[in-house]
Structure 1
Amino acid sequence: MSYASKSIYAALPRTQRGQPLVLGGDPKGKNFLYTNGNSVIIRNIENPSIADVYTEHSCQVNVAKYSPSGFYIASGDQSGKIRIWDTVNKEHILKNEFHPIGGPIKDIAWSPDNQRMVVVGEGRERFGHVFMSETGTSVGEISGQSKPINSCDFRPSRPFRLITGSEDNTVAVFEGPPFKFKMTKQEHTRFVQAVRYSPSGNLFASAGFDGKVYLYDGASSDLVGEVGAPAHSGGVYGVAWSPDGKQLLTASGDKTAKLWDVETRQVVSQFVLGSTVDDQQVSCLWQGNYLLTVSLRGFINYLDVNDPNKPLRIVKGHNKPITALTLSEDRTTMYTASHDGNVTNWNAETGENDRVEGTGHGNQINGMRVCEGTLYTCGIDDSLKQIDLEGNTYKPEHLKLASQPRGMDILKEENIVVVGSVNEITVSKDNQKLSALKVDYEPSSVSCSPRGHVAVGGNMDNKVHIYELKDNKLEPLTELSHLGPVIDVAYSPNDKYLVASDGHRKVVLYSTEDYKLANNKEWGFHNARVNCVAWSPDSELVASGSLDTSIIIWHVEKPTKHIVIKNAHAQNQVTRLAWVDNTTLVSVGQDCNTKLWTITPF
């Protein structure tokens, strides 16, 4: 067997209220960049479903920027480390690693000749540093500001200048090389969130939490004037220049983005991008013909200059860890749910997606299943809800559960939903509770077989509990003992096998005839708890995903053969798996990404 990565449906940017997000643009105009957790995500700007993920940082990455040549990317993380890596090779070979400041890096800027770099942030002994990108040698000092620095930029033409925007409400100007502090500009009355030079370097703009945007002369740093008065009614998080330097795009916490004429400093058009707190705009990017903004919920808006009322496209998805995954009955649509309770549907082939509307759980979803045009979800608000798939919205009615649900499955013939909660197993249909079985163990997962058998994983007692559904009630059949907590259970589509995974690193295959070990096989190649198992539609392959970040594919007929997909979700655990068809596996993980793999059997 062998495997290949088929596609990555990437995570959205990880946003934080009150924090500007930095988008990076490719000088060649093809891609744009942002960060989520330990990952740097590179997306094709024309077709954002084409993505690549760089995962070599060991802690949270805050910012990534292309070099002006386009051959390298520099990314800076929470610990103050900068990694410079190449964009040409698929492996993204590391060129250099430096540790310029001792704290979170918030912004990076390259000099136009690719040779120098400035990084700023929240260091313990200094808030920024300028150095040579080849050697790390210092070429100046970032001083003169008394609080963390949020933004920086390099003048793209000679004489070189540096500008930084700080939480002490000032913009600092540096001349060099070597770069020395020249002056501070004190027009802003609140934190300065973004500073950017125009493409020619003749002007620079600063934006702050006071809702104001100022323009300065690029060479002398004299104030040219204020854009709008003020530009926005909320804090301004980002500014981006048009390629010709004649217009400016601003993104604000007042939930709008605005386009300005630089010469008159008047508004050209206003984009109203929603009305809730989640619609605050925390970043913007102008790349070629594309104008992008990012909202607090992580959605990426492609603005339409000809029609400010509606974005051309909104890229949706998840920016929190994904906790649940299931497929439509024809397996063409994938449904994912995240830690924050959001549900997204994806076209398995193209990656086109949309978020489910309506009032959902509002917090973590632990189980999802599709049956007859309805998606059932159970969340830790102790409820079982339904989503109307055609309308892509939650139905108003729901079933209250006695305790927190851990897993669920559906007996499709009769449309009966079985939910395993902390201290009971509920059997329901059409939002009506048919029966409830109190249990003295904590269910972790549920799987229903077509003939009415129900397997429930035991988290505390290390057992798989097998029940039979008779007259809508669960009657105990047998128990299967494991050496660790049973985490996931799944019946094969042909109902010949049951597979169970546990906290003792094992994947165990049982025959459903007598619930004895099938093929005398316990598979034990994982190095940590096995979180999830999934069957291929032909019942020949089992995929298991683990806390050890790997996925292993097992073959039922050839139990000694398997393949390992290491670091399937970078340095993050795999949370759920499903098979789109007999050769396509989909996995989701703590890294918020949805990945498709091509599996070639023997």
Structure 2
Amino acid sequence: MELQATHACAPTTVRGRGILLGGHARKEMLTYTNGKNVIMRSLKDPMLVDMYTLHAHPATVARYSPNGEWLASGDAAGNLKVWGAYDDHPMKLEHTPFSGSIDDIQWSEDGQRIVCCGDGKETRVKAFMWDSGNAVGEFDGIGKRCNSCDFKPSRPFRIATASEDFKVNFYEGPPFKFKSSNSSHSNYANCVRFSPNGERFMSVGSDKKGILFDGKTGEVVCELPAKENHQGSIYACSWSPDSTKVLTCSADKTCKLWDLAAAAPTCLTTFNFAAKPQVEHMQVGCIWLGDYLVSVSLSGDINYLDPTAGDGPVKVLSAHSKTITAIAATPTGEVYSGSYDGVVNRWQPGQACLGRLAGNGHGGAGVQALAVTGTSLISAGLDDKVLSSPLAAGEFGADAVALAGCPSGMDLAADGELTIFSTNKGLQLMKGPKVLSTTAITFSATSAAISPDGKTVAVGAEDHKVYMYNVDGDALVASGTLEKHRGIVSGVKFSPDNSMLASTDYNREVIVWDAVKQEAKMTQAVYHTARVQCLAWSPNSVHLATGGLDMSIFLWNTSKDAAQRISVERCHRDGVSSLAFINETTLVSGGADAVLRTWKVAPPS
């Protein structure tokens, strides 16, 4: 099994707080974080993705060294790592500058020093040598969380900081020591950035102000004009390569491009992101890398901006930012994926995301299951509802069908009409939008499957059993139990040819049953090292794929012994959460890392 493509996750965003993007202009690479991962993504070709996955705590920020050979990244526990940009990312330095979250990192222009800042208890800013961690100064005068810091990119070196005590501080060095403090902000100072030529720097804050300073003295030069300025908190700013313009982003759902070449700043362009902006359109991060102007929306969308092409984004990259909980493929090869925050995205394998379904959908509740039938996408959510959404519309269906309880499993028969749901209240059999019957149960159901011919239903349970039912007209009639599992049954699925039933459990085991005889066909398949979380059959019913909390995907040829399985390790950080076959040779996986991957599966031999 071979990796074909990685569809990167979106940046992690939090309402009311900005994100400070990184990147390297010459390499045309953007850096951001999601969960415990650092993502390095090409702006020229967004399908070129690399990930650093060795933080033990949520990663918060990452920065390339000036030569592009190294990266420094920080996490929520105050750990900073310096590692190589290539191959297996060799570690150069592990350092803990302070105990709280690291919010910003910058390199000196000569690549010899690093400054970082964040939410330390006593120390909130530290500058040190990049290869040893030895401190190169002291940073007094910061009373609260320090949101941002920056190195003057030319000698004599200076460091500026922006913090939640409303102050912008200025330090001389090395060794660095306090020079001055400015209290012009009346709310949090969120970001501070020097111009590439080092002559000026700007701070922006939650008071809607942008303040321009002299890069050598730290004295105020001017402010962005209030009449043209943002109407909400300004979260970040970024300079043009020629040091004459600045891009800003704000909670007012706009980005602004400013001309700072003249004595008085002027707004050149105000970028808007929707005709009727919603909360998700708040702009929480921005960066200017060479020819690329990029912003990030609260939704996680990465927006490409071009002032010569109008006041809207010229390109938008959508992706998931939370655990991918369900995947479904269409006969034409398109993929739909749902996540824990209720987002459903549409993909074409090998291409960037085609966009997310518009509309309220499941109201932000997690998507528990997805299935494609004919021209519709069926989704079951943790809002206890089922939606049928026309594939051609690109938006969620308006009419929801209420389930008896919170769904734990969903499956469709081959006719695309007959559907089984397992909930915390019982089993529900539906045909299209019509509820045929509701069956009470005495066990806690974890998953459900219906045979392609619509005649048999299997239900996984917390009591380690698989309960079997026959479909008799509109009703379910109990027909027996399968009792070889030694842990909570996590998933059940019939093979497309009706002949087999696969089941998985928390005890790491995979069992394949003869669906007619209801006898175990493949046993002793206990090769996962943590609970099995998902499974999928290939269209020809030969291969079974399983994914686990151990981050591995196993491929089982059901015509061979379980010992002849194929495995791929470290597929998704923190676990593989969903699987689906597009065709007999292409498998799609989704994980807790919010990443979607496609894999090439060799034909059965």
Please confirm whether the aligned pair reaches a TM-score higher than 0.5, indicating the same fold: yes
Matched, 1:259 2:262: no
Query: TM-score, normalised on structure 2?
Result: 0.96
TM-score (norm 1): 0.97
Aligned to 1:52: 50
SS of 2:397's equivalent in the other structure is strand
Mapping 1:74-473, distance limit 5 Å: 74-89=72-87, 91-229=88-226, 231-262=229-260, 263=262, 264-274=264-274, 275-330=277-332, 332-362=333-363, 363-413=365-415, 415-473=417-475
What CA distance in whole angstroms lies between the structure 1 residues aligned with 2:72 and 2:10? 20
Query: 1:116-139 CA distances to partner (integer Å, 9 max, x unpaired)?
Result: 000000112210101000111111
The equivalent residue for 1:516 is 519
Cα distance in structure 2, aligned partners of 1:424 and 1:122: 48
- What is the CA deviation profile of residues 337-370 of structure 1, one whole-angstrom value per residue up to 9, with x for unaligned ones? 1111111111123233210012211201111111
Amino acid at match of 1:487: S
Identity over the aligned pairs, expressed in percent?
Answer: 37
| Root-mean-square deviation (Å) | 1.4
CA distance in 2, matches of 1:475, 1:526: 34
250-259 or 224-233: which moved more?
224-233
Question: Of 556, 559, 571, which residue of structure 2 is paired with 1:557?
Answer: 559
1:597 maps to 599
CA distance in 1, matches of 2:398, 2:567: 43
1:394-416 per-position Cα deviation (integer Å, ceiling 9, x unaligned):
22212111111111111232611
In 2, the alpha carbon distance for the partners of 1:501 and 1:455 equals 16
Deviations 1:91-115 (A, max 9, x none): 1111111111111100001000000
Deviation readout 1:42-62 (Å, 9 max, x if unpaired): 111012232111100000010
Deviates more, 1:159-168 or 1:528-537: 528-537
Closer, same or farther: CA 383–424 of 1 in aligned 2, 3 Å: same
Tell me which moved more, 247-256 or 527-536: 527-536
* Distance in 2 of aligned mates of 1:487 and 1:187: 57
Name the residue aligned to 2:40. Answer: 42
- Paired residue total: 596
**Residues 62-81 of structure 1 aligned to structure 2 (within 5 Å):** 62-81=60-79
Structure-2 change in CA distance of 1:414 and 1:200 (3 Å): closer
Task: Answer whether contact 1:20 1:238 (CA < 8 A) is retained.
Answer: yes
Give unmatched runs, 5+ long, in structure 1: none
Query: What CA distance in whole angstroms lies between the structure 1 residues aligned with 2:224 and 2:339?
Result: 40
In terms of mean alpha carbon deviation, does 447-456 or 468-477 score higher? 447-456
String of CA shifts for 1:422-466, please: whole Å, max 9, x gaps.
Answer: 122111123111111111112222222222233333332221122
Q: Secondary structure at the match of 1:393?
A: coil
1:269 partner letter: T
- What are the within-5 Å matches in structure 2 for residues 576-591 of structure 1? 576-591=578-593
8 Å contact from structure 1 (residues 141, 180) kept in 2: yes
The CA distance in 1 between the partners of 2:194 and 2:350, in whole Å, is 41
Letter in 1 for 2:427: I
**1:500 matches 2:503:** yes
Retained in 1: the 8 A contact 2:46–2:352? no
Is 1:484 matched up with 2:481? no
The worse-fitting range, judged by mean Cα deviation, of 109-118 and 375-384 is 375-384
Which moves more between the two structures, 137-146 or 114-123? 137-146
Secondary structure at 1:395 match in 2: coil
CA distance in 1: counterparts of 2:425 and 2:291, whole angstroms: 56
Distance 1:414 1:113, change over 3 A: closer
Q: Which consecutive residues of structure 2, in runs of 5 or more, have no partner in the other structure?
A: none
Displacement, 1:310?
Answer: 2.2
